A and B are shown apart, each in its own frame.
Chain A
Amino acid sequence: MNAFAEFALGPFSSLWHAGNLLDKAGLLMFASTGAAFALKSGTFNLGGEAQIYASALVTAMILSTPSAVAAAELAGSGGSAGPALFFFALACALALAAGGLLGFIPGELKARFGASELLTSFLLSAALLPVIDFLIAGPLRDEGKNLLATPAIADAFRMRSLLPPSLMNASFFLACGTATVAALFLSRTRAGYRLSVAGTAPEFARFAGFPVKRITVAGMTASGALHGLAGFFAIVGTWFMCHQGLSSGMGWSALAIALIARHNPLAVIPASLLYAWIESASDIAVLSSRVSFDSTAIVQGVIFLFISAKLPIAGQLRAVLKKRRAR
């Protein structure tokens, strides 16, 4: 029991751990809101990994162009912050566009040719990941450094930590806000209503005259863009440079979270926190007790197992609890 408490409370043992948990949860929240969005619109976006990765690369590249570096220097030396803000916004816009484009392509292929987005989004991602790996290992690498990564972005572009020394920054609150806005969009607007109806009841949506194909494309594009946001904040808030394999696992985790949250962006907030908590706790356990493997893979496996087994088990549990209560 002692060991369990140690495991469970590990992430809250210091500001460093707690802050990083929130930071990690924030990034996952952006991506899983995206995953939930696709699921709501009746599509499966399996390209999250590459959408995050590509957007992160775009962000890191924009923010390390010579003019961006000059703008950051200007802001850092007490000059006008305007140019730096411009590059920050530009990087954000292009990250959104990059993620969105990678969602749009499979969406459009589905709407136009009926190609399964399950397949196309996955294949597009699988094809793109090694390309990005190559770009980071080769032409876009910071040649002065020994890391497999792009050059680090300037201080002016880095989001300030709100819980030093941890990485937790305003992106966590933005992520909560994004998930809430997504939830409000789905439940409180006509467009959101049509999107979820097209997702749960495609034939009915078509019968009722909703633009089902456009909705498919929009859902996938929005999903990609939200993954792109995760990539953007991964650079400006967490890593400050695009490492090779930066997104590895994040896209899949996001999908798992969206499924746990049963496609509901509002439920994505606690689900991301839960997921980040488990991941952080296991990381800490690994670091403090000589467990010699990448344990996150096992944790993920367990979670996926429960997603598939969740409903019957939850049902049985509820039945048992009910009986207890009745007694």
Chain B
Amino acid sequence: MKKAELRHIRKIFETRGDAGEEVRSVAALDDVTLTFNPGEIHAILGENGAGKSTLVHILSGLHRPTSGVIAIGDSVFNAVTPSQAIGNGIAMVHQRPLLCDELTVTENILLGSPGFLARKPKAAEKIRAAADAWGIELDLSRKTHTLSAAERFYAALLGALLRSPDLLILDEPASILAAGEHERFFTALRAHCSNGLGAVLITHRVAEAVRWSDRVSVLREGKLLYSGAAKTLDELERMIDPEGLASRTARLALASDQKEGQACKIGTDGTAGLSVRDLSASPPNRTPLSGLTFCAPPGKITAIYGLPGSGLSTLEDALSGMLRCTSGSLATSAAVLEASEVAPSALRKAGLACVPSNRTWRGSNPELAIGHMLCAYRMPRFISSKNEAEVFAKKILEDERINAPLSRKTSTLSGGQLQRLVLDRELAEKPSVLVLSEPEWGLDIKSAAALRLKLAQAAQEGTAVLVLTDNPDSFRDPSFFSNVLVMEEGVLI
């Protein structure tokens, strides 16, 4: 098993603005030297934009470092290509891997495998063996578009394992695994590492890093602050977020929430907030919803908690109009919509806004200009160069301290930045109901705190906030929610 090293790695990104703007250079990584040993779980901590992703992308060949060298075993490279990385035993599992929707898990894994002829039965056997060794339960003959996020992650993991890597890079695996699965996955990872496998774990969950890793490295603004044995939770958190903003805002949010009246009674309060009655949907290959009845009262933050596969993502699609429901109704203060009338435009007219779990492709699109993404609901009939929509979009960027021209693509934003912008866009419509699905995914401590603050403010202004989440703990304080409903197998329990 080989050791991998990054020596004095520097990565400068150049961004170019609109015509006339100067080229700006941003150092994503500044003189970082790190060693990844075999047999170790090496956690890389840092908030959004600290340079974690850039670091592992250099290791896996997706990025070229501006300077510095990469040493793998006895070989030294100025930069590696993805195939060199794989050839030298480095495999990366992305958080949301790109899979070919119409192919099965096995076919997807074979797509990337070397060799002229794909020998399917034999390969399938190998994949099966790897799945067993890691305790992964996944039907390999399923088409990947039917998979949940966690299953897609597993499919990508199997693909990586098939190459028998020395070093396995895992990008935020915990954020898409259900709580119960964490234990099993990390136990399996531990076991394989004790047999000599090296693992790089990108995470912003400090507790997870403390619990499972042998070595921890902390990045902030492209600089390596610490690399060594795992410290205590507090020490690490202070290192990552020295201002302690996270804990302060959590208290603020709590204070703004007057705890009263637990569950709302359907019918008494049906005209305000969101009330859902007998909602059923049965989309193919996904968990169906069977007769959901609940309500999200105005001025409150309601949570619906459910594990992956509980039907939570089906509910998200139903509440955002992306999925046709078979029966039931949905009411806000502005309108009552029967199942057949539920569509994105009708929901928006009824005063409902939504921040989907898939911010990248549904809440936005990497190819869209930031301005176009922000002004989706506000484009005037005729667009002149200086118009209200543009002023509106610029204000949002200013408020979020994102220094980017409106014409730049959203793909240049970090996950956290995108999440904030999508939320701001939806809040700007002053919705009477705001649905958020997995809003904390991919957010660092500071961003998550800012999110909670915004939600609390929206609730204070009378919006009914509904959070769909597979991990209520990520909000730290369960009292943040005025009511928590639990979903299992498509029903509320």
A residues near B (Cβ < 8 Å) are 187-190, 193-194, 197, 200-201, 203-204, 206-211
Q: How far is the CB of B384 from chain A (nearest CB, A)?
A: 7
Listed by A's residue number, 16 A-B pairs whose Cβ atoms lie within 8 Å are A188-B383, A190-B379, A193-B379, A194-B379, A201-B364, A201-B365, A204-B361, A204-B363, A204-B364, A204-B365, A204-B368, A207-B354, A207-B356, A207-B362, A209-B348, A210-B345
Q: How far is the CB of A206 from chain B (nearest CB, A)?
A: 6
- Is the C-beta of B114 less than 8 angstroms from some C-beta in chain A? no
Determine which of B343, B363, B367, B372 lies in contact with A193 in the assembled complex, contact meaning CB atoms within 8 Å. B372
Q: Which residue of B lies closest to A211 (CB)?
A: B345
Q: What secondary structure prevails in chain A residues at the interface with B? A: helix
A197 adjacent to B380 (CB under 8 Å): no
Which of chain B's residues have a CB closer than 8 A to the CB of A197?
Answer: 365, 368, 372, 376
- Is the C-beta of B487 less than 8 angstroms from some C-beta in chain A? no
Q: Which residues of chain B in 314-330 are interfacial with respect to chain A, using CB atoms and an 8 Å cutoff?
A: 320-322
Q: Give the complex CA separation of A189 and B380 in angstroms.
A: 7
Determine which of B346, B361, B377 lies in contact with A208 in the assembled complex, contact meaning CB atoms within 8 Å. B377
Q: Give the complex CA separation of A193 and B382 in angstroms.
A: 10
Which of chain B's residues have a CB closer than 8 A to the CB of A207?
Answer: 320, 322, 344, 354, 356, 362-363
B344 adjacent to A188 (CB under 8 Å): no
A209 adjacent to B383 (CB under 8 Å): no
Q: Give the complex CA separation of A209 and B426 in angstroms.
A: 13
Q: Which residues of chain B in 378-405 are interfacial with respect to chain A, using CB atoms and an 8 Å cutoff?
A: 379-384
B383 adjacent to A189 (CB under 8 Å): yes
Which of chain A's residues have a CB closer than 8 A to the CB of B348?
Answer: 208-209
B382 adjacent to A208 (CB under 8 Å): no
Q: Give the complex CA separation of A200 and B409 in angstroms.
A: 12
Determine which of B320, B364, B384 lies in contact with A188 in the assembled complex, contact meaning CB atoms within 8 Å. B384
Q: Give the complex CA separation of A211 and B343 in angstroms.
A: 10
* With A188-B383, A206-B344, A207-B320: A201-B368 Cβ-Cβ less than 8 Å: yes
- Is the C-beta of B347 less than 8 angstroms from some C-beta in chain A? yes
Q: Which residue of A lies closest to B382 (CB)?
A: A189
B367 adjacent to A208 (CB under 8 Å): no
Q: Give the complex CA separation of A208 and B344 in angstroms.
A: 6
Determine which of A190, A203, A209 lies in contact with B382 in the assembled complex, contact meaning CB atoms within 8 Å. A190
Which of chain A's residues have a CB closer than 8 A to the CB of B362?
Answer: 203-204, 207
* With A188-B382, A206-B344: A201-B367 Cβ-Cβ less than 8 Å: yes
A209 adjacent to B343 (CB under 8 Å): yes
Q: Give the complex CA separation of A193 and B368 in angstroms.
A: 11
Which of chain B's residues have a CB closer than 8 A to the CB of A189?
Answer: 381-383
A209 adjacent to B344 (CB under 8 Å): yes
Q: Give the complex CA separation of A207 and B376 in angstroms.
A: 10
Q: Which residue of A lies closest to B383 (CB)?
A: A188
Which of chain A's residues have a CB closer than 8 A to the CB of B382?
Answer: 188-190
Which of chain B's residues have a CB closer than 8 A to the CB of A190?
Answer: 379-383
Q: Give the complex CA separation of A193 and B393 in angstroms.
A: 15
Which of chain B's residues have a CB closer than 8 A to the CB of A194?
Answer: 379
Q: How far is the CB of B378 from chain A (nearest CB, A)?
A: 10
* With A200-B365, A201-B368, A203-B365: A208-B376 Cβ-Cβ less than 8 Å: yes
Q: Which residue of B lies closest to A193 (CB)?
A: B379
Which of chain A's residues have a CB closer than 8 A to the CB of B368?
Answer: 197, 200-201, 204
Which of chain B's residues have a CB closer than 8 A to the CB of A188?
Answer: 382-384
Which of chain B's residues have a CB closer than 8 A to the CB of A193?
Answer: 372, 379, 383
Q: Which residue of B lies closest to A208 (CB)?
A: B376
Q: Which residues of chain B in 299-349 are interfacial with respect to chain A, using CB atoms and an 8 Å cutoff?
A: 320-322, 343-348
Q: Among A188, A197, A208, A211, which residue has the most Cβ atoms of chain B within 10 A? A: A208
Which of chain B's residues have a CB closer than 8 A to the CB of A187?
Answer: 383
B347 adjacent to A209 (CB under 8 Å): yes
Contacts beyond the supplied A188-B383, A207-B320, A209-B344: 9 A-B pairs with Cβ under 8 Å: A190-B383, A200-B368, A204-B364, A206-B322, A207-B362, A207-B363, A209-B321, A209-B345, A210-B345
Q: How far is the CB of A7 from chain B (nearest CB, A)?
A: 35
Q: Give the complex CA separation of A180 and B373 in angstroms.
A: 24
B367 adjacent to A200 (CB under 8 Å): yes
Which of chain B's residues have a CB closer than 8 A to the CB of A208?
Answer: 344, 348, 376-377
Q: How far is the CB of A195 from chain B (nearest CB, A)?
A: 12
Which of chain A's residues have a CB closer than 8 A to the CB of B380?
Answer: 190
Q: Which residue of B lies closest to A188 (CB)?
A: B383
Q: Among B321, B347, B379, which residue has the most Cβ atoms of chain A within 10 A? A: B379
Q: Which residue of B lies closest to A201 (CB)?
A: B365
Which of chain A's residues have a CB closer than 8 A to the CB of B383?
Answer: 187-190, 193
Q: Which residue of B lies closest to A202 (CB)?
A: B365
Closest 4 CB pairs of A and B: A201-B365, A209-B345, A209-B344, A208-B376
Q: Which residues of chain B in 50-65 are interfacial with respect to chain A, using CB atoms and an 8 Å cutoff?
A: none
Which of chain A's residues have a CB closer than 8 A to the CB of B347?
Answer: 209
Q: Give the complex CA separation of A197 and B375 in angstroms.
A: 11
Q: Give the complex CA separation of A99 and B248 in angstroms.
A: 64
Q: Which residue of B lies closest to A200 (CB)?
A: B367
Which of chain B's residues have a CB closer than 8 A to the CB of A204?
Answer: 361-365, 368, 373, 376
Which of chain B's residues have a CB closer than 8 A to the CB of A211?
Answer: 345
Q: Among A187, A194, A197, A211, which residue has the most Cβ atoms of chain B within 10 A? A: A197
Q: Give the complex CA separation of A266 and B116 in angstroms.
A: 44
Which of chain B's residues have a CB closer than 8 A to the CB of A203?
Answer: 361-362, 365
Q: Give the complex CA separation of A210 and B343 in angstroms.
A: 10
Q: Which residues of chain B in 188-244 are interfacial with respect to chain A, using CB atoms and an 8 Å cutoff?
A: none
Q: Give the complex CA separation of A69 and B356 in angstroms.
A: 63
Which of chain A's residues have a CB closer than 8 A to the CB of B363?
Answer: 204, 207
Q: Give the complex CA separation of A204 and B374 in angstroms.
A: 12
Which of chain B's residues have a CB closer than 8 A to the CB of A201?
Answer: 361, 364-365, 367-368
Q: Which residue of A lies closest to B385 (CB)?
A: A188
Q: Which residue of B lies closest to A189 (CB)?
A: B382
Which of chain A's residues have a CB closer than 8 A to the CB of B377?
Answer: 208
Which of chain A's residues have a CB closer than 8 A to the CB of B321?
Answer: 209
Which of chain A's residues have a CB closer than 8 A to the CB of B364?
Answer: 201, 204
Q: Which residue of B lies closest to A192 (CB)?
A: B383
Which of chain A's residues have a CB closer than 8 A to the CB of B322?
Answer: 206-207
Q: Give the complex CA separation of A189 and B384 in angstroms.
A: 9
Q: How far is the CB of A133 from chain B (nearest CB, A)?
A: 37
Which of chain B's residues have a CB closer than 8 A to the CB of A200?
Answer: 365, 367-368
Which of chain A's residues have a CB closer than 8 A to the CB of B345?
Answer: 209-211
Which of chain B's residues have a CB closer than 8 A to the CB of A209?
Answer: 321, 343-348
Q: Give the complex CA separation of A28 and B348 in angstroms.
A: 42
Q: Give the complex CA separation of A190 and B376 in angstroms.
A: 10
Q: Which residue of B lies closest to A196 (CB)?
A: B372
Which of chain A's residues have a CB closer than 8 A to the CB of B372?
Answer: 193, 197
Q: Give the complex CA separation of A256 and B354 in angstroms.
A: 40
Q: How far is the CB of B438 from chain A (nearest CB, A)?
A: 15
Q: Give the complex CA separation of A176 and B387 in angstroms.
A: 27
